[in-house]
A and B are shown apart, each in its own frame.
Chain A
């Protein structure tokens, strides 16, 4: 059996000098967003893995009956996405210098470019001349475009919210965690489009 011992007294914590002052947790929301984006990237990875697996064993990939996929619109979307990737960084660089006006303009520009991208993708999906279920490749055109559209939509909502908060002067050079988190999410959305563009149009 257990050796009997008189229980030693529970030590009391030494009293601290003064009340508790917790150090402010800097970078909490960017870190949380980075973790979320890691999981989101794994979803994208799963979709791409499925695509690569099917592509490797397919008899025809992509199905080519006639000129099915134009390259003009997706390339324009890609350029717009690239512009928005720069403009969202512009917003971050501005707020780091406490430059509210530039930050505001860059955020607005990014949100506008995001809406333009959404518009372009919607138009493209509406005008595809093949159905979603004709071939796995076709399904992936819809799925990967839709995956980016969902993220672009969420990103635009976030950007508009950040825009509203910037107009009230809430962010400063050393306090703009939410802005950084939004930028991280936006850059992931851009990456999702880059992946879709690469596997559908560049090297199908």
Chain B
């Protein structure tokens, strides 16, 4: 909570002159939204823990169904925390990809403001979806929570479409550098997870959805696909800035392949297991029909672990052992201010106060400066059906 307070206060009160709200980088914005979500979600867990402590250690009585208490109070308080918190772990990854995609597409983020609203909307709606986890609800609440959960998925799906539009609209190939490739890995796994979640929230609520392995599979496609790929993409993008050295692209390619295969292999079979009726949080089962999918899932988990191990190896080799290519100050022709300082930056970041006049101050300077070669203007995106679809 205090970390969230720190970040919120910094973003609100300590922005550079000219850094208006519409010019805040997407990653900063996503961290802002994520912190706001955690600020208001974690207290629900705290309240539950206070009551649990009072009951277990001070002799209180809250969760005892025999004496006007109710054990379900814990479950409700917990999910009011956990559902937003799960999304809060994914939202920063959305910000990372929203930074990477336009840089490597050499254009603006398509409908930047709409993307910012999508991230904020996902954060706000995460508070309206907690009830969908309390399986067995009936009538109006069940429908209501299904609708809010699907609206949230819609906001995230819209963001995915905006990224794809950003990549497709310039009508030239994006620069397929490691950060963008890792970001595309996120898109592939995340897209699958979104479909799984939509099926779960829309059609398969209750027993088949939330009480089964389908839930585990769909959620983890989102969580592992989102958070892990987000971290990896961010490492590839910002390692040159943080440590002055690139991560190895070769190792990165192998790891990307293993990570995509590992995530899909681990969690897609879980969707099948859920369809076969395997309950959530079951460690042993007797039906032999459940074995193949479980086996594939286990193999996938090893592949997935190997991929994560490769990320660590890459960090150790490229950064710690200093084997990585030395990075210039601005290896990606970035749009945001961090690329204007040295790599790695000095403790105070800038000797001069940067002049911020748009959401891509560095791209502005590059286009305005004495051109070493004629820079093609970033084409203004035509209104396309993509926006309508979104």
Interface residues in A1-45 (C-beta closer than 8 Å to B): 1-3, 6-16, 20, 22-23, 25, 27-28, 31-32, 35-36, 38-45
Does A66 make an interface contact (CB < 8 A)?
no
**Is the Cβ of A7 less than 8 Å from the Cβ of B352?**
no
CB neighbours (8 Å) of A41 from chain B are 43
- Asked whether A131 is an interface residue with its Cβ less than 8 Å from the other chain, the reply is yes
Known contacts A2-B173, A16-B352, A50-B47; A39 and B42 CB within 8 A of each other: yes
Cβ-closest chain B residue relative to A50: B73
A173 interface residue, CB < 8 Å from B?
no
B9–A11 CB distance below 8 A: no
- A20: which B residues are within 8 A, CB to CB? 350-353
Q: Which segment, of B10-18, B131-139, B212-220, B308-316, faces chain A?
A: B10-18
Interface residue B328 (Cβ < 8 Å from any Cβ of A): yes
State whether A6 and B373 are in contact (beta carbons under 8 Å apart), knowing that A36-B1, A135-B68 are contacts in the complex.
yes
Interface size on B, residues (CB 8 A): 62
Smallest beta-carbon distance A85→chain B, Å? 23
Alpha-carbon distance between A43 and B48 when the two chains are bound, in angstroms = 9
Cα(A162)–Cα(B239), bound, Å: 44
Q: Is the beta-carbon distance between B333 and A142 smaller than 8 angstroms?
A: no
Could you count the A-B residue pairs with CB atoms below 8 Å apart for me: how many are there?
167
Task: Indicate if the CB atoms of B172 and A3 lie closer than 8 Å.
Answer: yes
A68 vs B166: C-alpha distance when bound (angstroms): 68
**Closest CB in chain A relative to B34 CB, distance in Å:** 14
Task: Contacts A23-B17, A46-B46 given; indicate if A39 touches B1 (C-beta within 8 A).
Answer: yes
Residues of A within 8 A of B68 (CB): 54, 57-61, 135-137
Closest CB-CB distance, B42 to chain A, in whole Å?
7
Contact B8 A2 (CB under 8 A): no
List chain A residues, Cβ under 8 A from B48. 46, 50
Give the nearest-CB partner of B53 in chain A.
A143
Which chain A residues lie closer than 8 Å to B321 at the CB level? none
Residues in B with CB closer than 8 Å to A59 are 68
* Nearest chain A residue, comparing its CB with the CB of B46: A43
The listed residue with most A CB atoms (<10 A of its CB), out of B60, B369, B373, is B60
Q: A10-B329, A53-B76, A133-B61 are in contact. Are A143 and B5 (CB under 8 A)?
A: no
Please tell me if the beta carbons of B61 and A138 are within 8 angstroms of each other in the complex.
yes
**A127: CB under 8 A from chain B?**
no
Q: How far is the CB of A129 from chain B (nearest CB, A)?
A: 16
- Residue among B68, B339, B340 with the most chain A CB within 10 A? B68
A157 contacts which chain B residues (CB < 8 A)? none
- A203 near B: Cβ within 8 Å? no
Nearest Cβ on chain A to B39's Cβ, whole angstroms: 5
B362 in the interface (beta carbon within 8 A): yes
Complex interface: chain A residues within 8 A of B4 (CB) = 35, 39
Contact status A46-B59, CB under 8 Å: no
A136–B352 contact, CB under 8 A?
no
* Cβ-defined contact, A31 with B40, below 8 A: no
The verdict on A132 contacting chain B, using a C-beta distance below 8 Å, is yes
Tell me if A31 and B1 are in contact (CB < 8 A).
Answer: no
In whole angstroms, what is the CA distance A9 to B371 when docked? 9
Query: Does A139 reach chain B (CB closer than 8 Å)?
Result: yes
Residues of B within 8 A of A7 (CB): 333
Q: Is B80 an interface residue (CB 8 A)?
A: yes
CA of A22 to CA of B54 in the docked complex: distance in angstroms? 48
Question: B282 on the interface (CB 8 Å rule)?
Answer: no
Provide the bound-state CA to CA distance between A137 and B62, in Å: 9
Considering the complex, give the chain B residue whose CB is closest to the CB of A28. Answer: B13
Contact A36 B61 (CB under 8 A): no
Contacts of A133 in B (CB 8 A): 55, 59-61
Residues of B whose CB lies within 8 Å of any CB of A are 1-2, 4-6, 8-9, 12-14, 17, 39-40, 42-44, 46-48, 50-51, 54-55, 58-62, 67-70, 73, 76-77, 80, 172-177, 328-330, 333, 339-340, 350-355, 362, 365-366, 369, 371-373, 375
Could you write out 7 A-B pairs with CB less than 8 Å apart? A14-B355, A36-B1, A39-B5, A46-B80, A49-B77, A50-B77, A133-B61
In the A-B complex, the 6 residue pairs with the smallest Cβ-Cβ separation, listed nearest first, are: A46-B47, A42-B43, A11-B365, A10-B330, A139-B60, A43-B43
Q: A16-B352, A50-B48 given. 11 additional CB < 8 A pairs?
A: A8-B333, A10-B330, A14-B365, A39-B1, A39-B4, A39-B39, A46-B43, A54-B73, A132-B60, A132-B61, A139-B55
